[in-house]
Amino acid sequence: MMPLIQKILAEAGCGDNPAVQQAVEEACYNQTSFVEAVLDCEGVRERDFLLVLARTLSLAWWEGGGDHPAEPGLRRYLPAEIALRHRLLPVGVQDKGDAEGKPVLHLATFDPLNLVTHQRVASSLNQAVVWHVGQRTRIVEGLQKLYGLGADTFEKILRGRADWGAEEIGDEVTVLDEPEDEEASVVRFVNQIIRRGLEQRATDIHVEPQQDRLRIRYRIDGRLEELPVPENIKSLQASVIARLKIMARLDIAEKRLPQDGRINLEMDGMPIDVRVATIPSVEGESISLRLLSQQAMTISRLGLTDTVKPVVDELLKLPNGIILITGPTGSGKSTTLYAFLSEMNQTHRRIVTIEDPVEYKMPGMVQIAVKPEIGLTFASGLRSILRGDPNVVMVGEMRDLETTEIAIRAALTGHLVFSTLHTNDAIGGITRLVDMGVEPFLVSSAVRAFLAQRLVRKLCPLCKAPAEVESDYLKSIGFPLNVSGQIMRAVGCEACRGSGYQGRLSIYEVVLMTQALQHLINTRAHPAELQKQACQDGYIPMRGYGFQKVLAGETTIEEVLSVTSAGRSFHETAPRLTQPLHLVAA
């Protein structure tokens, strides 16, 4: 090992690390970058190591990060192909800095010993360069913000592009990790968009044509975040959209009507199902992709509290009746349904589902996708299912009176039925069914429970910190003051991209069909009376459930308030609920 390398490793405090020593020896033997080899080792502090490297080589340190963003105008001084391939970030320019009066470019790198990089820069740029050293993570982050995803690809496209047609884009690529021909640059760029979304745990990708640009946004943990893209992407809008439509097997010539399709992908050996929807707009076709991992969902992953888990367990043991999951689009209803079905999926039960579309393929169950164009609707499919001797039936959604009445008849004749409704809360499910035309006595006799849910963001476990909240404020929002626990707040770190949150969790409210509630439904009582009776029967409002998650340190008060309405104050039912909460200090 070279003396200089030994000195740098010793000062960085990792010279005695056997893994580092082995990585450096292999890098020296293979004539590859020892800096990258060290950074890839576990236990090495990236910042400490690179600071020692910069000091040893007498190079300036570039801090980077959110407080030191690179100016957009710096893009023109270094081609994207060189910047992204060698991970060099322009961080500044000094006008008339050299003897010839040419501007001096300041470049940040994490590997200043890479001679290939120096030679490429020297042969490509006709100007002086001042080198800085920065963290690898900060440089990669800065490159994406400055150039946008796939900027090097687009430079190649624009250099050799005449006038591409949609037919020249290439065949469908379903394996995202599979290497592609560099000539199929649009294929590569679209795969980069999807792969990046999967890496960031996005649930949706929106490709939205604007007047002067093509905007791409990811929905991550329920919030939309814009993806930095190259400035010239607008000129290739038609090719990008055509590629997505080809992957979804849609009609690329039809641009006036909405279309739906799906893409089957694979990344790291894991199958990914992508639902695609196109919407014609005045600026071009907008495309939305919903990313559905086929990872099995179990009831343990729902994170049910100790007060709700026993209730759900009892509901899943029922021999018949209807269990309805309510909530708006995107509230996680399907995920909860699949978790319930997964728990019940046993050899002695025959489970049949009818869905639009089938989102998760589950072995051991018969799953049917509706096809209205050939007459296979929820109603017609449900009639056929009941002739097939099922024990458990899942109807994707109760959209109309005919489907609802068939489901109710199934529940009254010995079947356990699961389905969903689009309502704001659990009590709203009762009103919705009656408004659809179902007789109240059928609702009260067939339905066993209404379960409403929302999704809130989970606090990042690496950076969350205790919060101090005024008791008057807690009292005003109905927060339980007589229950132990620790309220936490979001801070933000690199692991959660500065948001303070990582992932999402569900919060629920469950209304059980009691005799008192049945009587009120049969008399067409006002929803406020139904709500009051449900609270007397031990129902915990969704906001109260969310506050339990706050006290457990899993989410924040702000997140719970953002998705729930006040309804009846938690304090109104606190005397009944304080005893079984079993919350302990975090």
What is the 3-class SS of 388-406, one letter each residue? CCCCEEEECCCCCHHHHHH
Its sign, for the CA torsion 168, 169, 174, 180, is: positive
Closest-CA residue to 216 (of 248, 238, 194):
194
Task: Examine the pLDDT at 181 and tell me if it is beyond 50.
Answer: no
The amino acid that residue 32 corresponds to is T
On average, the pLDDT of the chain sits at 82
Task: Examine the pLDDT at 565 and tell me if it is beyond 70.
Answer: yes
CB 315 within 8 A of CB 308: no
Give the pTM: 0.72
Give CA–CA dist 487/494, Å, rounded: 22
- Pair of tokens at residue 57: 């080589």
Sorted by where each begins, the domain ranges of the chain are 3-154, 165-292, 299-456+504-552
Binned at pLDDT 50, 70 and 90, residue 96 comes out as low
Give CA–CA dist 517/391, Å, rounded: 27
Closest-CA residue to 310 (of 584, 454, 578, 510):
510
Give CA–CA dist 503/464, Å, rounded: 13
Task: Examine the pLDDT at 170 and tell me if it is beyond 70.
Answer: no
Q: Greater confidence, 356 or 4?
A: 356
Task: Examine the pLDDT at 180 and tell me if it is beyond 70.
Answer: no
pLDDT of 66 reads 58
Burial class (CB in 10 A: 0-12, 13-18, 19+), 311: middle
Task: Examine the pLDDT at 171 and tell me if it is beyond 70.
Answer: no
CB 499 within 8 A of CB 451: no
Interval 6-59: pLDDT, tens: 777 777 777 777 787 787 778 777 777 778 888 888 777 888 888 888 888 888
CATH 3.40.190.290 fits 165-292, yes or no: no
CATH class of 3-154: alpha beta
pLDDT of 169 reads 35
Residue matched to tokens 């719970």: 560
288, β-bridge pairs: 206, 277
Q: Greater confidence, 81 or 533?
A: 533
Kindly report the backbone phi and psi dihedral angles of residue 436, in degrees, each rounded to the nearest multiple of 5, phi listed first: -70, -15
No. of helices (H) and no. of strands (E), the chain: 22, 19
- Pair of tokens at residue 566: 């006040």
CATH of domain 299-456+504-552: 3.40.50.300
Kindly report the backbone phi and psi dihedral angles of residue 313, in degrees, each rounded to the nearest multiple of 5, phi listed first: -60, -40
Query: CB pairs under 8 A, 24+ apart, for 27-32?
Result: 28/1, 28/2
CB 204 within 8 A of CB 274: no
CB 40 within 8 A of CB 34: no
Please report, for residues 458, 481, 547, the alpha-carbon distance to residue 222 in angstroms, rounded to integers and kept in the order given. Answer: 11, 29, 19
